[in-house]
Amino acid sequence: MATKVLSLRLPEEIAAEIAAVARANGVSVSRAIRFAIEDYVAAQRADKGFKARLKERLEEDRKLLERFTK
């Protein structure tokens, strides 16, 4: 799997908490953050409201693309 390096700014309190969670679970902070992101994305996939908002945004983008490619 290809990876992408991202920079993430967190409040110090959240950074300390995620570090503690990672240590307790025996994983790296990076892996703990990936788990959290994976859970967030999975929740969005299951959310019908999100799917509707995504379709709406895609339709808006399609219309813009048509305007720029005429």
Could you report the per-residue pLDDT of 28-70, keeping only the tens digit for each?
999 999 999 999 999 999 999 999 999 999 999 999 999 999 8
Instruction: Tell me whether residue 6 is in a domain.
Output: no
Structure-block tokens of residue 30 = 């990076």
Q: Is residue 32 part of a domain?
A: yes
Does residue 1 have a pLDDT over 90? no
First-to-last alpha carbon distance for the chain, in angstroms, is: 37
The pLDDT, as a whole number, for residue 26 is 98
Whether 63 maps to a domain, the answer reads yes
Confidence (pTM): 0.77
21 occurs within a structural domain: yes
The three-state secondary structure class of 40 is helix
Residue 46 belongs to some domain of the structure? yes
- Residue range(s) defining the domain that contains residue 55: 12-68
Which pLDDT score, from 0 to 100, does residue 70 have?
A: 84
Q: Which of 33, 1, 31, 41 lies closest to 15 in space, CA to CA?
A: 33
* 23: in domain: yes
How far are the Cα atoms of 7, 28, 66 from residue 35, in angstroms, in the given order?
17, 11, 37
Res 20 pLDDT > 90:
yes
